[in-house]
Each structure stands twice: as C-alpha cells, then as structure tokens.
C-alpha cells in the first residue's frame, strides 16, 4: 500500500489525522500529511477509512 496526500487539494479538515493518527498528521499550516516512514500505512486498518473521511478526496491509497 502507498499513501499520499495532495496538499494542493487538502483543506485541512483533519479527518484523516483524527481517524488514523498513527499515519497522518497536520503540518504548521494545518494541511494533512503522512507521517515520515508511514507511507505504507504502517499496518493500520483505518487508512482507507481516513481516505474516505476526507471531504475533498485529497488522500490516495494505492496498492503496490
């Protein structure tokens, strides 16, 4: 699995960080980002739910 956040689309709603805090965080501007080293989802079953929770679909979850 490979996770990415399109920061040009992100509005900083924070739903991903609330849903899967072990994978997502928010930067100083409030935009979501994947925690360093967690681009593979770190085994979290909540990654796909976090992507679905994003109101602007800024999160991409791709199978590798």
pLDDT at 44: 86
Q: How confident is the model at residue 64 (pLDDT cuts 50, 70, 90)?
A: confident
| Pairing assessment for the beta strands 59-62 and 2-5 based on DSSP bridges | antiparallel
pLDDT at 42: 86
pLDDT at 63 over 90: no
Instruction: For Cα atoms 50, 55, 61, give the angle at the middle one, nearest 5 degrees.
Output: 40
* Global model pTM greater than 0.85: yes
What is the C-alpha separation between 24 and 22, in angstroms, rounded?
Answer: 6
Per-residue pLDDT averaged across 4-21, rounded?
A: 97
What is the C-alpha separation between 58 and 48, in angstroms, rounded?
Answer: 12
What is the C-alpha separation between 46 and 7, in angstroms, rounded?
Answer: 20
pLDDT at 31 over 90: yes
Average pLDDT, the chain: 95
């Amino acid at each position: 699995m490979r996770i990415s956040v399109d920061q040009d689309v992100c509005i900083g709603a924070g739903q991903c960080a609330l849903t899967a805090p072990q994978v997502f965080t928010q930067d100083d501007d409030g935009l979501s980002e994947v925690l360093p080293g967690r681009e593979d989802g770190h085994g979290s079953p909540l990654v796909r739910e976090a992507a679905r929770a994003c109101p602007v679909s800024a999160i991409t979850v791709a199978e590798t």
